[in-house]
Every structure is written in structure tokens, then in C-alpha cells.
């Protein structure tokens, strides 16, 4: 179930002369206490001047060694692969809430980020009081938009007043040593000579125009209890779904046609195939598949503790959050660049030409992307993924179906190097 925020009528506070307060926010520290959908049991800290801390560490270590606590859920979180959207859908509301609150995985299919369509619909029909996070964001943006319009209106009025004052000064001309005002309305008949309603005789009266009704018509087929079915599901990208399966081991992806569970090696081949458009067969895959490059970077930053979210909104591949989007804005924007430094990629003229097309980027492209990130106060991180030659990949053991037996042995052949760019502006960087 999503989050709804209780609001206070600002008119009651304005009558008392107080500034309208923002609605109370939920306790995000409690809701998102777990950074991942797994539980960890760290040992207590060692205090050098307290010998009892050693006893506490030994006791916790031995107790966990004798009776290991459960770190994973008792049952797998389930989703199914959708070839039409090239993603994994999670339809269970409890599972979707777990994946969002514990790691910010996926997005609502009918929402911008957090799945909150059901709460928005209940508020719209008057079954729930409050506002969702998306509605609060929309209201803040609308208030900011109105403020900018009001500021522009005042600036425009000041300019018009200045021009009117200059025009009045220009209409004063000297006559016999005195200033005489020139009538700018010469040739225009007075108001009493104009026909009545000369400009408005064809305009309809506002009182005669029927106003549309704002009331929602009642549906006779709608049940009296107004039970609303949740039409939204959580949509995971291929990188997020594979990380939950391979990296954490908490998700189970099913085939929608057979409802059978898809193995990790088979899902790995499916993700690689559907990273192309149109999708390719398993025999036409390469070591520089789009899924391989993106997943290597995704796994790299997730393992470092960052919350990785798609960054298409800012023309990048990923956005890196310190704790999550509900706590703060993203600090870094990531762009993935393939790197072909192995001697194999320059062995023939055809390979050199293909590598040059994929590696070559203009300086203007980098300048434009970096300027966008500077405007939104993010640091641009260019991540170079070293692509191994096909001969190294052929050493990985495969079964009769062509599926890889050891995905980790395949992924460890990739190397990641990151480079941070920061736009330098002289007027802001002066000492």
C-alpha cells in the first residue's frame, strides 16, 4: 500500500496570520530502514578500552555460527518476464512494496516512480483523505510555476510603466517657450459618439454560457462498496531483475506461458537477447551486448552501496543516490562507454572500424551532457567497461542448450574504470 499524506487547510492558518505549513511527511527512515531485501547481522563494534566488548563479539559470533539466522526471505519474491515490455512484472502488492521500500527497485507502471496509483484513485473518488507524494510534487511545481508567472507579470508591468512615463515625456513639446501636451487621440471620436457595445455586440454574455459540471456522474454498475482493484504493477528493468536473482538471490522469475521458474543461466541469455531490438538468437550474441555493459555497471555500483536508478530523464544511463530518491537528489549521473583495449579488437581492419564507431564521441556531445548535469547540480561520471575478446568468453563452460554454467566466471572478465567530470565556470570558481 502506498503512502498518503494528511494535509491542513491553509485558510485556517492564513486567517491567524501564520505561514501555511507543509504537510507532515512519513518516517522514511523507518520505512526504508533496510537498504536491500535481505537482512544482515553485523558484529558489535570493538571498543579497545572496554574488554567486555571482546566477550560480546565472541558471543555473537559463536551464536551465529551455531544457529545461523535467516538472511533471505522464507519464500522467493515472484515476478514474470514480459517479452513485450522487455522487463519483469511484479503483480503481488506485498512483493512490490518490499522491493520498493527495501532498495528502491523498479517503478510503478502507472506512476512516475513509487507505485501509488491505487492511493491516487482513492483520493480522487473521495475514499481517502490526503495527498500522495506525486500530488505533493505536482502542487509544488504548480506553486513554483505560478510564482514565476507572477514575477514575470510584475516585471512586465514595471517595464510598461517605464515606457508609459517615457511616452508622456515625449508628448510634451515646447510652444512659445512653454511645454504643451500633444493630444495623442486626435481623430478619435469621444466616447459618447461611439455606438453602444461597439466591440462586444457579437460577444456572448458570460452569464448565458453554461458551465460544465464538475461532479463525477454516478455509474449505476459500480458497486456500492466502491471496491477499487489495483491496476498497477511494479516494473523491473532487466538489470534490476537479474541483480535480485544473481546478486541477492531473493527473486524468482517465471515464464508467463508455462508458469515455470526460469533458471539464472537461462534468464541471463534472455536478457542478453532482448537487449537488442529486434531481439537476437543466442547464437548471435556478442561480448559487448548492451545488457552486459549496463549490468556490469549496475552490479558495480550496487555492490558499493549506491542506489542505482535509470537516468533517461537527464540524458544519462544511470543516476546514483546515496540512500534513495525520497531522501535526497541524485549526486552522480553515469554514462556507460565501452572500451576495447585488447589486442584482438585491433587485429583486423574491419574490427578497428567497428570499434571506432562505438568508441568515438565528439567533444560537443560531452560538453552538452556535462552542461545538463551541471544545471541540475550533478557530477558526470563516465564509466569505461573493458570488453573482453570472444576467445576469452569461449572458455566459459556451457551446457547442451548453450546456457552458461557459471555466470560469475563470465562476468569477472569485465573491468570497470570510472572518470568524474566537473564543469568549470570562471565566474563561480574564482577564489
Q: Which residues are catalytic?
A: 321, 329, 378
- Give CA–CA dist 374/379, Å, rounded: 7
SS3 content of the chain, % helix, strand, coil (to 5): 40, 15, 45
SS3 415: strand
- Burial (CB count within 10 angstroms: exposed 0-12, middle 13-18, buried 19+), residue 358: middle
Q: What cell does 183 get?
A: 493630444
Beta carbons of 384 and 339 less than 8 angstroms apart: yes
CA distance to 15, 45, 60, 235, 247, per residue, from 42 (Å): 53, 9, 9, 32, 19
Read off the DSSP letter of residue 5. B
Total Cβ atoms within 10 A of residue 62: 10
- Give CA–CA dist 89/235, Å, rounded: 5
- The continuous run of DSSP H or E covering 253 comes out as strand 251-254
Closest to 21 measured CA to CA, from 29, 30, 13, 31: 13
Q: What cell does 402 get?
A: 548453450
Alpha helices in 186-339 (DSSP H): 238-242, 264-274, 290-303
- Give CA–CA dist 366/338, Å, rounded: 15
Q: Which residues pair with 84 in a beta bridge?
A: none
- Give CA–CA dist 120/4, Å, rounded: 9
Amino acid at each position: 500500500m502506498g503512502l498518503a499524506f494528511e494535509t491542513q487547510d491553509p485558510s485556517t492558518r492564513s486567517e491567524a496570520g501564520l505561514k501555511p505549513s507543509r504537510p507532515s511527511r512519513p518516517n522514511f527512515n523507518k520505512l526504508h530502514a533496510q537498504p536491500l531485501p535481505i537482512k544482515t547481522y553485523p558484529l558489535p563494534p570493538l571498543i579497545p578500552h572496554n574488554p567486555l566488548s571482546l566477550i560480546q563479539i565472541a558471543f555473537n559470533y559463536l551464536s551465529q555460527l551455531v544457529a545461523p539466522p535467516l538472511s533471505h526471505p522464507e519464500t522467493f519474491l515472484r515476478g514474470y518476464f514480459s517479452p513485450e515490455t522487455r522487463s519483469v512484472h511484479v503483480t503481488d502488492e506485498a512483493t512490490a512494496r518490499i522491493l520498493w521500500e527495501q532498495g528502491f527497485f523498479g517503478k510503478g507502471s502507472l506512476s512516475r516512480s513509487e507505485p501509488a496509483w491505487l492511493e491516487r484513485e482513492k483520493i480522487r473518488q473521495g475514499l481517502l483523505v490526503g495527498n500522495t507524494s506525486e500530488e505533493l510534487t505536482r502542487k509544488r511545481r504548480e506553486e513554483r510555476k505560478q510564482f514565476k508567472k507572477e514575477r514575470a507579470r510584475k516585471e512586465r508591468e514595471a517595464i510598461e510603466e517605464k515606457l508609459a512615463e517615457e511616452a508622456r515625456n515625449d508628448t510634451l513639446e515646447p510652444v512659445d517657450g512653454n511645454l504643451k501636451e500633444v493630444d495623442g487621440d486626435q481623430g478619435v471620436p469621444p466616447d459618447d459618439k461611439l455606438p453602444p457595445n461597439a466591440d462586444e455586440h457579437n460577444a456572448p454574455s458570460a452569464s448565458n454560457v453554461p458551465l460544465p459540471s464538475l461532479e463525477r456522474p454516478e455509474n449505476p454498475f459500480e458497486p456500492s462498496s466502491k471496491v477499487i482493484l489495483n491496476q498497477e504493477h511494479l516494473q523491473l528493468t532487466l538489470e534490476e531483475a537479474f541483480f535480485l536473482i544473481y546478486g541477492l538471490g531473493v527473486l524468482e522469475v517465471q515464464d508467463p506461458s508455462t508458469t515455470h521458474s526460469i533458471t539464472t543461466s537461462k534468464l541471463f541469455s534472455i536478457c542478453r537477447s532482448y537487449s537488442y531490438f529486434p531481439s537476437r538468437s543466442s547464437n548471435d550474441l556478442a561480448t559487448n551486448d548492451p545488457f552486459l555493459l549496463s549490468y556490469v555497471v549496475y552490479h558495480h555500483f550496487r555492490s558499493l552501496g549506491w542506489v542505482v536508478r535509470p537516468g533517461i530523464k537527464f540524458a544519462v544511463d544511470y543516476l546514483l543516490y546515496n540512500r534513495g530518491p525520497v531522501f535526497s537528489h541524485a549526486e552522480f549521473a553515469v554514462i556507460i562507454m565501452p572500451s576495447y583495449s585488447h589486442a584482438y579488437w585491433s587485429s583486423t581492419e574491419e574490427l578497428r572500424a567497428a570499434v571506432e564507431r562505438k568508441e568515438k564521441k565528439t567533444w560537443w556531445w560531452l560538453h552538452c551532457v556535462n552542461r545538463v548535469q551541471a544545471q541540475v547540480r550533478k557530477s558526470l561520471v563516465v564509466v569505461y567497461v573493458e570488453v573482453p575478446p570472444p576467445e576469452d568468453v569461449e572458455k566459459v563452460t556451457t551446457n547442451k542448450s548453450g546456457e552458461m554454467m557459471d555466470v560469475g566466471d563470465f562476468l569477472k572478465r569485465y573491468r570497470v574504470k570510472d572518470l568524474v567530470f566537473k564543469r568549470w565556470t570562471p565566474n563561480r570558481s574564482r577564489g
